[in-house]
Amino acid sequence: MNKRPTLADVAARAGMSKTAVSLVLNNRPGSRLSDDAVARIHEAARELDYRPNAQARSLRLGTTGTVGFISDDVTVTRFASPMIRGLLDAADEQDRGVLIAETFKHPKQLRKAMEAMVDRQVDGLIFGALSARLVDLPPLPAGMRAVTVNCVNPEVPVAVLPDEEQAGYAVTRQLLDAGHAAGLAVIGNAPVARSDPRVSVTINRRFKGIQRALDESGVTPVAVEDIEFWEPWNGYDATKRVLESDAPVTALLCLNDRVSFGAQQAMTERGLRVPDDVSIASFDDDEIASYMRPALTTARLPYEQMGRQALELLLRPEESPGEHLVEMPLQVRGSIRPLA
Amino acid sequence: MNKRPTLADVAARAGMSKTAVSLVLNNRPGSRLSDDAVARIHEAARELDYRPNAQARSLRLGTTGTVGFISDDVTVTRFASPMIRGLLDAADEQDRGVLIAETFKHPKQLRKAMEAMVDRQVDGLIFGALSARLVDLPPLPAGMRAVTVNCVNPEVPVAVLPDEEQAGYAVTRQLLDAGHAAGLAVIGNAPVARSDPRVSVTINRRFKGIQRALDESGVTPVAVEDIEFWEPWNGYDATKRVLESDAPVTALLCLNDRVSFGAQQAMTERGLRVPDDVSIASFDDDEIASYMRPALTTARLPYEQMGRQALELLLRPEESPGEHLVEMPLQVRGSIRPLA
DNA sequence: GTCTCGTGCTGAAAGGTTTTAGCACTGGCG
DNA sequence: CGCCAGTGCTAAAACCTTTCAGCACGAGAC
C-alpha cells in the first residue's frame, strides 16, 4: 500500500533538491542545471512513474487546467451530444479537463452549479443552451472567463452561434436553383417565437436568410404555414392544410427536420412521393434526416464545431469579443428533384 | 481586485483561530466552542461570503468530491444523453462534481483520460459504453473505486446493465397476449453479434427472454430474419423479404426501434398499415419510436436510471459487487392490434 | 493546598507544489 | 590578491485547509 510518489521522492532518488526537480520537469527556461542533473532527474521521475499532484499544483498556481460546462438542457438531449464531443475533443487537445453540470430545473440549480465550479477553481465557464436564446445568468465572479454557446447573455462577452442567416439563404437558394420558384411552400413560420429573444435569438435570422433569397429572385411562396412548435405532428397538420388547399406546390421549405418528417408522412398518406411529386428541404440535420427515404437535404446545425470553437475561444488568451458565427453546411441528399 | 476570503480572514474577523473556524464551519462533533464563538464565526463567514478553497481542502483530505465519467462514445451520442442526465442528477444530489471525458478514438486516449482523472484525484471512475459490451481497460490504480455502466470489465467489480432478459420476455409476451402467436416474425436475429461479447454481452439475454416467452406458449415464429447491424435500411430489407415470402405474418417483433422504423417503411410501401394489417413491437424506446405513427410499443433502455444507479453505487460505501440489472419498462403505445 | 478534570480554545504541522532569493564555488581580470 | 560575474544548485516561503496535541484556567475532590 504505497502512495503516489511526490516531488520529494523524485528529488531524493535523483540526489537533487525539490526545486531542481520542479524546474527540470516543467522545463523552465533560464534554469541552468547541468546536463547530468537533468538526465538524473528525468530518469528518477520515469523510474518512479512520477505524476504531479494536481491539487497541490492548483493550490499553488491558482489555476486548475479545468473548464466548466454548464447547460440548461443540452447535456441531456440528443442535440447536445455533438456539442459535447467538439468541446471534449478540443479540451483533450489542450490538456484540459472538463467539469460538467446541468441546470435544467431551476435558476437556483444554475447558481449552485456555478458556485460548485467556481469553488473548484475552473479556469473558465462555458454556458450552453438547447435553443439559441437569451439566457439569464447569475453574476460572474470578477475575472472569470466565459463564453456562451448556442445562447447569448449580456454579461458574457463572447458567444458562439450558428450562422442561421447564411443557412436560410443557402437552403432557399438550393430549392430555387432547382427550379421550384413557382411552387414553393414554407412550412413553419413561427410568429410567437420570432418575437421573443428568450425563445430564440437566431430564428429571425433563419427567416431573414430565406427572405433574402426569395427577394433576390423575386419569388413569393405559394403558401406560408404557421407552426408554433416545430414538431413532427405539427408539420404533418400544416402540410395537410397546404395539400388540401390545392396550392400548386412543387417544394416544401420546412423550418426544421422534424417538421419535414411530419410533412413527409402527410404526403405519403395522400399518395405523394418525395422527391418525385414534391421536393423537401429543411434545417438542422437531425438524426431523423438521414433515416428518411430519401434522405433529407438540410442545413446542418454545426454543434460539434460550435462546441470546439467555444472551448478554443475560452482558452485563447487574446479576447475576441462578439458573436462568432459558425457556418451551417448544406447536406445535399436526395429530397430535392430538379425541375426541367 | 480583492481575492476570495480565506479561512484566516474569517478567523481574523471573528477574533478566533483558524482551527476554531474550521471546526465550526464543518461542524465537527466534539469541538466544544461557546455558543457566542460559534455565532460570531458564522456571522463573519456570512459577511465575507466565505467559500472554502476546494484545492486546499482536497490537498489536505486526499479526496475531491469529484467523480470521473469516461465513455467510449456514449457522451457523444444521443443514446448517452439520458445516461449523463441521470448521472449528473444523482451527482448533484450528493454534491459531487463530474469530470467527463471520451475516448472514442483509441486505447491511448483512454489511458490518457484515465490518467488525467487520476491526477485530478477523482474519488471514483465510471466507465460507460455505447453498447453493452465487454471492454478493455488499463489497470486501475490500487484503491480506486469504479463501476461500469452499460458495459463490463473483469477488473471492475460492479456493473450496471439493462435487464434485457426481462425485456425480451415482456415484449414477446405483449405480442403473444394480443393474439399474435400464429403470425409472429422476428426481425433482427444477429448471429455474429450474439457470439462475441466484445460486441455485446446482453444481446443474448434479449433473445433468451424472447425464447422463454415463446417456449412458455409453445410458439414457433413464422419467420426469423438475420440482420447484422440493426439499422433502418436493414430492417427495411429484412421486412421486405418476409413480406415477399408470403408467410402469414400478423406481427413483427423487431430487435430494435430503428429496425422497426425500416420495417414500417417497407410495409407502407406495400400498402400495409400499422397496426391494422401488421403489429410491431421492439426495443430501446429510441427517439424515433415516438415520432412514428402510430407510436411504437417498445421496451425502454433505461439509460437515465442506469446513470443514476452507477453513480449511487460508486459512492455507496458498502460495496455491492456484481451485476445490477435495471428494468426495461415496456412503453405501450399504438403499434399492436389485439386480434379478436 | 495540591490534584484532577472539564471547558474553551489555539499553535503548528502536514499535504505537494512553485518560485523567490540567495548560497557556494570557480575562473578571469585588474 | 581582491573583486566580479557566471554557474549550478538549494532553503524556505507561500498557496489554504484540516487536525493533532496541548495550553490555560477554573472548579470540585481529596
Write out which nucleotides of chain D lie closer than 7 A to a protein Cβ. 7-12, 14-21
Q: What is the model's pLDDT at position A293?
A: 86
User: Is B39 inside any structural domain?
Assistant: yes
In this predicted structure, the answer to whether residue A1 has a pLDDT above a threshold of 60 is no
- Selection from A99, A198, A147, A98 nearest residue B96 by Cα: A99
In this predicted structure, the answer to whether residue A269 has a pLDDT above a threshold of 80 is yes
A337's enclosing H/E stretch is: none
Q: What is the model's pLDDT at position A277?
A: 96
Q: What is the model's pLDDT at position B74?
A: 55
Q: How far is B60 from chain A (nearest CA, A)?
A: 9
Do B29 and B76 sit in the same domain of this protein? no
Do A216 and A285 sit in the same domain of this protein? yes
Which strands, in side-by-side order, build the sheet including B158-162?
Answer: A322-326, A158-162, A145-152, A124-134, A66-71, A97-102, B97-102, B66-71, B124-134, B145-152, B158-162, B322-326
Do B78 and B89 sit in the same domain of this protein? yes
Cell of A202: 437566431
Inter-residue contact B253 to B187 (CB < 8 Å): yes
Q: What is the model's pLDDT at position A309?
A: 97
User: Is B339 inside any structural domain?
Assistant: no
User: Is A57 inside any structural domain?
Assistant: no
Do A251 and A177 sit in the same domain of this protein? yes
Q: In angstroms, rounded to a whole number, what is the distance separating the alpha carbons of residues B39 and A335?
A: 71
Q: Tens digits of per-residue pLDDT, A5-18?
A: 999 999 999 999 99
Task: Name the closest residue on chain A to residue B83, using Cα atoms.
Answer: A76
User: Is A261 inside any structural domain?
Assistant: yes
Of A53, A54, A75, the CB nearest to B88: A75
Interchain pair A288, B288: CB under 8 A: yes
Answer whether any strand C atom is within 7 A of the Cβ of A41.
no
Interchain pair A52, B109: CB under 8 A: no
CB contacts of A101 in chain B (<8 Å) are 88, 92, 97-98
Do A119 and A236 sit in the same domain of this protein? no
Q: What is the model's pLDDT at position B81?
A: 81
Interchain pair B84, A76: CB under 8 A: yes
The total number of structural domains in chain B stands at 3
- pLDDT tier for residue A31 given thresholds of 50, 70 and 90: confident
Do B272 and B185 sit in the same domain of this protein? yes
In this predicted structure, the answer to whether residue A212 has a pLDDT above a threshold of 90 is yes
Of A1, A97, A117, the CB nearest to B116: A97
In this predicted structure, the answer to whether residue A156 has a pLDDT above a threshold of 60 is yes
- Selection from A88, A338, A254, A313 nearest residue B75 by Cα: A88
Answer whether any strand D atom is within 7 A of the Cβ of A31.
yes
Interchain pair B102, A120: CB under 8 A: no
Q: What is the CATH number of the domain that holds A277?
A: 3.40.50.2300
- Give percent of chain A with pLDDT exceeding 90: 81
A144's enclosing H/E stretch is: none
User: Is A293 inside any structural domain?
Assistant: yes
Do A213 and A284 sit in the same domain of this protein? yes
Residue A211: partners with Cβ closer than 8 Å, 6 or more residues away: A168
Do B117 and B232 sit in the same domain of this protein? no
Do B193 and B308 sit in the same domain of this protein? no
- Selection from A234, A232, A297 nearest residue B291 by Cα: A232
Q: What is the model's pLDDT at position A142?
A: 87
Write out which nucleotides of chain C lie closer than 7 A to a protein Cβ. 7-21
User: Is B335 inside any structural domain?
Assistant: no
Do A173 and A295 sit in the same domain of this protein? yes
Q: What is the model's pLDDT at position A23?
A: 95
Q: What is the CATH number of the domain that holds A33?
A: 1.10.260
Do B129 and B193 sit in the same domain of this protein? no
Q: Tens digits of per-residue pLDDT, A297-322?
A: 999 999 999 999 999 999 987 778 99
Per the structure, the residues numbered 47 to 86 in protein chain A that have their CB within 7 angstroms of any atom of strand C are 50, 52-53, 56-57, 59-61
- The residues with which A279 forms a beta bridge, in sequence order, are A251
User: Is A2 inside any structural domain?
Assistant: no
Nucleotide nearest to B22 (CA to C1'): D18
In this predicted structure, the answer to whether residue A76 has a pLDDT above a threshold of 60 is no
Q: Tens digits of per-residue pLDDT, B213-224?
A: 999 999 999 999
Q: In angstroms, rounded to a whole number, what is the distance separating the alpha carbons of residues B215 and B207?
A: 12
Task: Name the closest residue on chain A to residue B57, using Cα atoms.
Answer: A55
Residues in chain B with pLDDT < 50?
A: 1
Q: What is the model's pLDDT at position B77?
A: 67
Cell of B30: 466534539
Answer whether any strand C atom is within 7 A of the Cβ of B119.
no
- pLDDT tier for residue A75 given thresholds of 50, 70 and 90: low
CB contacts of B120 in chain A (<8 Å) are 54-55, 66, 97
CB contacts of A1 in chain B (<8 Å) are 142-143
Q: What is the model's pLDDT at position A81?
A: 81
Domain of A15 in residue numbering reads as 7-52
In this predicted structure, the answer to whether residue A32 has a pLDDT above a threshold of 90 is no
Which residue is closest to C7 in terms of CA–C1' distance?
Answer: B32
Interchain pair B101, A88: CB under 8 A: yes
User: Is A96 inside any structural domain?
Assistant: yes
Do B309 and B247 sit in the same domain of this protein? no
Q: Tens digits of per-residue pLDDT, B94-136?
A: 999 999 998 876 889 899 999 999 999 999 999 999 889 999 9
Max alpha carbon distance in chain A (Å)?
90
Q: What is the model's pLDDT at position A2?
A: 64
Q: What is the model's pLDDT at position B1?
A: 47
Q: How far is B23 from chain A (nearest CA, A)?
A: 20
